[in-house]
Chains A and B, each alone.
Chain A
Amino acid sequence: MNIGNKSTSWRFFSWFFAIALVTPIVVMLVASINVSSELFDHLWATVLPEYIRNTLVLGILVAVLSLCFGVPAAALISQTNIVMAKQLRWLLMLPLAMPAYLVAYLYTDLFDYAGPVQRLLRAWFGWQAPSDYYFFDIRTIGGAAIVIALVLFPYVYMLTRTAFEQQDRNLLRASRLLGCTERQSFYQVALPLARPAIAVSLALVTMETLADFATVQYFAVNTLTTAIYDTWLGYGDFAAANALASVLMLFILFAVVAEQRARAGQRHQSSRPNTQQQRKQLSVSQQIFASIFCWFLVFAGFLLPMSLLLVMAVDYADYPQFLTLMATGKNSLKIATYSATIATLIALMLALFQRLHQSSSRMLPMQISGFGYAIPGTVLAMAMLATFGPLDHMINDVAKAFGFTAPGLILSGTVFAIVFAFVVRFSAIANGTINAGLGQIPKSLDLAPASLGVKTVPAILRVHLPLLKSSMLVAWLLVFVEAMKELPAVLLLRPFNFETLSTQIYQLISDERLEQGALGAILIVLFGLLPIIFLNRQKDSK
């Protein structure tokens, strides 16, 4: 379909935004070039090997656990007659609404030696000291992996379930006709067909885990992100910190490439979705086991942390708190709305460019614009300052040269920097969602306007945009939620007198006073529920 050659501006803007989004990353890489080897040698000789080992172990554990949680749950919901399937279907998505750092704080607090669970056990059994009994230590890599997996597995669950549901039922029937048992047809046909979806979701889970700092900190687990913070804030060596961040990005790039290769194999578009398929009838014992499994995930990933927050809120919340919450909540809403809108528009442009434009490099803008997801928030914030600081200086110098008063830091010192950072960080999510939506539109429709003799871009958009409406909304909502939750970038980049829900909660947590921030935390979670409710309603209406 030859539409793109006429619209050079489309091409220009696609590249413009992609390059803009990748610039902070390039700045970061450039800054890492003049790294001193002395500090590196020291780190390598002392703590770095352990950090790298922890990073790898954590990444692998979280990936494996998310797989063990998400895939069976997806299979049970989409392929069996499990009791309350309709409710579990969306309940299993709820953990996604919980910020990981919050769940981490709640769980470490709950299961810690000094926490209520162990206190209760000691009171019941009369134990006096840690040596009197065995209780698992929550502040370990294992503890961290379980808790992180509990809030991230819904990615795996959602994508895998969708893949199962959209599989061509004829393929499954064929396998049965060819003599496969139910079990064989699942393992040999359904599961391999879902592989690309599983790979995509695992890549997301791994990226989020590796770029995380706040969460692992509660578990006293030191990872590569710890090293980045140490070198930058402790040793004051920005170059070394950037070099380490680049190493981390390599890890993550590996995950991205693996994911894209997996998706490249996904040429299978089903025109006969698997909605009417015969569900496997579970025996009573299977039914019980399956229900316990699914309800455990819902309970541990959402109900328990949410109840803890509610109890705190009931005990501590008061009216003045509510009023400050309104003010800070407004700031959170503002930056989240800006970020979600911009990220969705850019993703839409890049996705359509990739699909419809003729240039040979049409894939690149979208690919490079997603890299930001891999960068820890604080490092990204630094990169923003390093990018927009000089730009701001230029603007002010020029203004002064022409005799105007200097306008001040209009880029790096305002909400602009925060929103830009969020767009850089969360573009990958918007890109992925819109791209997936576009993938559902048969290629033949690209030709529809042309077959009617119309070759213009607006004509194409008139066909595609309505079909993409729901993907756009999902993308918007997902970015919105992530932006509501984000902490480190907003902490460093914010302008004067600017608090958000997440910065407020962070300050209270750092003083062990989450109780007073419980109301705000609940608000973040409630916003996080929006896309889930929407996704669910959308599915039901189909």
Chain B
Amino acid sequence: MLNKIWFSSFVFVALLSASNTVVASDDVNVYSYRQPFLVKPLFDKFTQETGIKVNVVFAKKGMAERLSREGEYSPADILLTTDISRLIELQEQDLLQPATSTELSTAIPAQFKASDDTWYALTTRVRNIYSAKRLGKIDFNYEDLADKKWQGKICTRSGKHPYNVALVASMIAEHGEADTLTWLQKVKANLARKPQGSDRAQVQAIHQSLCDVSLGNSYYFGNMLNDDKQKVWAEAVYINFPNQGNRGAHVNISGMAMAKYAPNKANALALMNFLVSVPAQKMYAETNMEYPVRPGVTPSTLVASWGQFKADDLALETIAKHRKAALILLDKAQFDL
């Protein structure tokens, strides 16, 4: 009897795994760092136009690790990520393959794609400085955050968050490691509270007068304005594009890449072509209030109303290159402690 029990447990487990494997070959499989509500409308449209079904796994942590463990048997075709460092990480671990088409090469300018065609940017986002409306309009440089006059007035999320790490990396590219460390230490001394919460929570804190200034990505401003509860937070701040008098505001990207062992290559390329098409670019940028990468496609009216700005033209690869140094400096400054 006992043997029977254990045997049936085995069968149970076998059935359990069998029932969940097979993904049909006329599909395209996406590993996404991006949230479902952002990408689902696009994928629905793609399926509608081409008949190709899109399967998605969404995860922020460990996607590269999963992909590399799966190796040649990975079902993933397309990777959708935010942050340039993640794309470079995938590229450096040799998890991507080049993807080319006339559509891709006409749509995406050279500065927004890998030189070996392994990844393409889809949208850009700015690391803005938000400031309380009660202070009036101010022109900021990121360097100003180290100024003593902001003592006890700055809020930010964890320094280790990829968005902040990329900003610190761009500071290293501009000023070198030693000066960036000093900058970090001074910014830390100016913080109103320990780094915590999300970019939105910092704007909420400004709304409540806990601090006057915070770091945050551009699209959160639009998303907060479109949220019943968070609208009042966003209305309490100005969105500032830093360093307009010099190198320009720090810009990061969200992007896509084709997995090295993509089993449905043709479908994957079709999806990539679709994502850079004018309507998709418009839609992708609008659902999350980002800036489309394709020249000629305008951002949403709301985003456009924040005005033109000068973006730092630092090469994306350079930001990724300084990423590790940025992490080490953040530890050295004990930024999050």
A residues with CB within 8 A of B: 7, 9-10, 13, 42-43, 46-47, 50, 113-114, 119, 128-130, 139, 218, 220, 222, 229-230, 232-236, 238, 338, 341-342, 345, 349, 378, 381-382, 385-386, 389, 392-393, 396, 406-416, 419, 457-458, 461, 488, 491-492, 494-499, 503, 507, 510-513, 515
Q: Which of A42, A113, A220 contacts B208 (CB 8 A)?
A: A113
Partner of A496, one of B13, B55, B208: B55
A342 in contact with B65 given A43-B331, A222-B336, A410-B18 (CB within 8 Å) = no
B23 lies within 8 A of A393 (CB): no
In the bound complex, how far is the Cα of B73 from the Cα of A4, in angstroms? 43
Report the bound CA distance from A114 to B75 in whole Å.
45
Q: How would you classify the secondary structure of chain A's contact residues: helix, strand, loop or mixed? A: helix
Distance in angstroms from B289 CB to nearest chain A CB is 13
Contact between B327 and A234, CB atoms less than 8 A apart:
yes
| C-alpha spacing A220/B195, complex, angstroms | 7
Min CB distance A421 to B, Å, is 13
Contact of A113 among B20, B70, B71, B205 (CB under 8 A): B205
Given A230-B160, A413-B21, A458-B2, 8 new contacts (CB under 8 A): A43-B331, A46-B334, A114-B205, A220-B336, A233-B61, A235-B324, A381-B62, A496-B23
Contacts A407-B21, A408-B75, A497-B56 known; A338 to B16 CB distance under 8 Å? yes
Question: What are 5 A-to-B residue pairs whose CB atoms are below 8 Å?
Answer: A338-B16, A342-B13, A409-B75, A414-B16, A492-B62
B59 at the interface (CB under 8 A from A): yes
Name A129's closest neighbour in chain B (CB-CB): B209
- A497 contacts across to B, CB distance below 8 A: 55-57
Partner of B73, one of A385, A408, A414: A408
Find residues 1-29 in chain B having any chain A CB closer than 8 Å to their own CB: 1-3, 5-6, 9, 12-13, 16-23, 29
Is B149 in the interface zone, CB < 8 Å from A?
no
CB distance from B91 to the nearest CB of A (A): 13
CB A216 to nearest CB in B, in angstroms, measures 11
Q: Tell me which residues across on chain B come within 8 A of A498, comparing CB atoms.
A: 57
Which residue on B lies nearest to A387, using beta carbons?
B69
A13-B65 in contact (CB<8A): no
Of A232, A386, A389, A410, which one neighbours B17 at CB under 8 angstroms?
A: A410
Q: Are A389 and B328 in contact (CB under 8 A)?
A: no
A419 vs B19: C-alpha distance when bound (angstroms): 13
Interface residues on chain B, size class: 35 or more
Which of A130, A236, A461 is close to B2, meaning CB atoms less than 8 Å apart? Answer: A461
Q: Which residues in window 223-258 of B have CB below 8 A to A?
A: 223, 227, 229-230
Expressed in whole angstroms, the Cα–Cα distance for A58 and B207 within the complex equals 32
Name B86's closest neighbour in chain A (CB-CB): A233
B22: chain A residues at CB < 8 Å are 408
Q: Is the CB of B57 within 8 A of A495?
A: yes
- Pick from B20, B61, B204, B208: contact of A492, CB under 8 Å: B61
* CB neighbours of A129 from chain B (8 A): 209
Nearest to A493 among chain B residues (CB) is: B66
A222, B337: Cβ atoms closer than 8 Å: yes
A-B contact count (CB 8 A): 169
Residue interface mask B293-328, A partner, CB < 8 A = 1:
000000000000000000000000000000010011
Closest 8 CB pairs between A and B?
A: A220-B196, A496-B55, A416-B17, A389-B69, A114-B208, A46-B331, A414-B20, A385-B69
Q: Is the CB of A507 within 8 A of B36?
A: yes
Determine if A235 and B327 form an interchain contact, defined as CB atoms under 8 angstroms apart. Answer: yes
Chain B residues whose CB sits within 8 angstroms of the CB of A130 once the complex forms: 192, 210
* Contact A507:B2 (CB < 8 A) given known A113-B208, A338-B16, A408-B21: no
Q: Is A416 a contact of B89 with CB atoms below 8 Å?
A: no
Would you call B65 and A382 a contact (CB within 8 A)?
yes
In the complex, what residues of B have CB within 8 A of residue A113's CB?
193, 205, 208, 210
Is the Cβ of A392 less than 8 Å from the Cβ of B3?
A: no
* B328→A42 contact, CB < 8 A: yes
Residues of A within 8 A of B210 (CB): 113-114, 130
Find chain B residues with CB under 8 A from A513 CB.
227
The answer for the CA separation of A406 and B23 in the assembled complex, in Å, is 12
B75 near A496 with CB under 8 A, answer: yes
User: Which of B29, B61, B198, B200 contacts A378 (CB under 8 A)?
Assistant: B61
- With A42-B331, A46-B332 as contacts: A406 and B73 at CB distance below 8 Å: yes
Instruction: Let me know if A47 and B334 touch, CB within 8 A.
Output: yes
Which of A13, A229, A396, A414 is B6 in contact with, Cβ under 8 Å? A13
B16 touches A419 (CB 8 A): yes
Specify which of B59, B207, B230 lies most central, judged by the most chain A CB atoms within 10 Å of its CB: B59
Residues of A within 8 A of B137 (CB): none
Rounded to whole Å, the gap between the CB of A270 and the closest CB of chain B is: 31
Inter-chain CA distance A338–B20, complex, in Å, is 13
B326: min CB distance to chain A, Å: 10
Residue contact B209 to A378, C-beta cutoff 8 Å: no
A222 / chain B contacts, CB cutoff of 8 Å: 336-337
Q: Which residue of A lies closest to B233 (CB)?
A: A114
A515: chain B residues within 8 A (beta carbon): 229
Closest to B6 in A: A13
The answer to whether A9 touches B2 (Cβ under 8 A) is yes
In the complex, A289→B14 CA distance in Å? 56
Known contacts A139-B194, A220-B195: A7-B61 contact under CB 8 Å: no
Contact, CB under 8 Å: A512 / B200: yes
Residue B278 CB within 8 A of the other chain: no
Closest chain-A Cβ to B301's Cβ sits at a distance in Å of: 23
The one of A139, A458, A512 in contact with B198, judged by C-beta atoms closer than 8 angstroms, is A512
